[in-house]
Amino acid sequence: MSLREGLSRRGALMKLGLLFNGAMGTVLAVPIVSYVLSPLLRERKTGYDSWLNLGALDQFPVGQTRLAVYRNPVVNPTDGETANIPCWVRNLDNEKFQVFAINCAHLGCPVRWFPQSGLFLCPCHGGAYYADGSRASGPPERGLFEYRYKVQQGNLLIEAGEMLTTGAPTAGLTNIDTGRPPCA
């Protein structure tokens, strides 16, 4: 039971099976390899590295905290209003500013500024932050996330491309020594 030129049925099916397995292995390997190599292959969008204008300095009076909005530098046509990102701007002395992300450091709920108490308050789980963005009370383990900023030609600019996340360790939370043994 051999085919022409001495190739048996078993040999032919073996070669066909190897060819099919090789093809399927290639089909499955392409997405995995492209995923692993994607940081090297894809081009980085330029918007992430840019400075974004929040507005003229006179929009932010000295000693006050105001809400500002910037447009996400990397938007899709379907983003609509969600591409407008709010942040809190605190003018310390017309040269020094603090620009905070609107998101709570606990779970990302939007915080509000209450000038009467001088606190940022989170409505989700009761997180509170002082005017300088540091943690006052509640579940957040750290202060508000702060944008890097610069003043250029009478405008306040922020660098919004690189932001810390809630999972990133902070200097204030590492190497805490309470003098007691850790809990089990």
Of 18-22, 45-49, 57-61, 67-71, give the range with the top mean pLDDT. Answer: 18-22
pLDDT digits 0-9 by tens, 109-143 = 889 999 898 899 998 888 899 988 888 888 888 88
The pLDDT-based confidence of 62 (bands split at 50, 70, 90) is: confident
For the segment 15-36, the average pLDDT, to the nearest whole number, is 92
Q: Are residues 11 and 91 in the same domain?
A: no
Q: What is the band of 54 on the pLDDT scale with cuts at 50, 70, 90?
A: confident
Residues in the chain: 184
What total of structural domains would you count in the chain?
Answer: 2
Chain-wide mean pLDDT for the chain? 80
pLDDT at 13 over 80: yes
In a domain, 165, yes or no: no
Tell whether 180 is covered by a domain. no
Burial 78-97 (b: 16+ CB within 10 A, else e): eeeeeeebebbbbbeeeeeb
Same domain, 36 and 103: no
In degrees and rounded to multiples of 5, residue 11 shows phi and psi of -65, -40
Check residue 27 and give its pLDDT. 93
Whether 58 and 34 map to the same domain: the answer is: no
User: What predicted TM-score, i.e. pTM, was given to this entire model?
Assistant: 0.63
Residue 178 lies in a domain: no
Please check the confidence at residue 44 and state whether its pLDDT lies above 80: no
Which structural domain, as residue segments, surrounds residue 59?
46-159
N-term to C-term CA, the chain: 72
Q: Do residues 140 and 64 share a domain?
A: yes
Do 152 and 61 fall within a single domain? yes
Are 29 and 119 found together in one domain? no
For residue 180, what pLDDT is reported?
53
Are both 9 and 91 inside the same structural domain?
no
